């Protein structure tokens, strides 16, 4: 889905519903995980997307897999880090 916001660029969302069950099952290096990761991240190649923002606290567990299927120039952001920082300052 494409979302228009206050940001002046294009935001493209990618639902990755198969990640969490595989992560929770401990399938962190399974061929299935590699296959779906490659599929989910294809838009980074076809649409020339520049930044990936993790939308789930599980995703850092497979950051090494995710990085294998992204162009080297893509920036990965984990919003949980900023949330922890903000929460610790209140």
pLDDT digits (tens, 9 = 90+) for 31-83: 999 999 999 999 999 998 999 999 998 999 999 999 999 999 999 999 888 88
Residue 75's pLDDT is 95
pLDDT at residue 5 above 60? no
Q: Can you tell me the distance from the alpha carbon of 65 to that of 59, in angstroms, rounded to the nearest whole number?
A: 10
Give yes or no for a contact between 51 and 74, defined as CB atoms under 8 angstroms apart: yes
Residue 8's pLDDT is 73
Which sign does the torsion angle of CA 19, 48, 52, 62 carry? positive
Residue 89's pLDDT is 84
As a residue count, the chain comes to 90
What is the average per-residue pLDDT within 14-20?
96
Q: State the CB neighbour count (10 A cutoff) for residue 82.
A: 10
Q: What are the structure tokens assigned to 40, written together?
A: 């989910």
pTM for this model (two decimals)? 0.81
């Amino acid at each position: 889905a494409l979302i228009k916001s206050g940001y002046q660029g294009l935001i493209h969302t990618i639902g990755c519903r198969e990640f969490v069950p595989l992560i929770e099952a401990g399938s962190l290096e399974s061929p299935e995980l590699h296959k779906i990761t490659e599929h989910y991240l294809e838009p980074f190649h076809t649409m020339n997307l520049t930044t990936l923002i993790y939308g789930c606290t599980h995703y850092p567990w497979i950051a090494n897999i995710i990085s294998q299927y992204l162009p080297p120039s893509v920036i990965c952001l984990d919003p949980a880090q900023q949330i922890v920082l903000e929460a610790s300052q209140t």
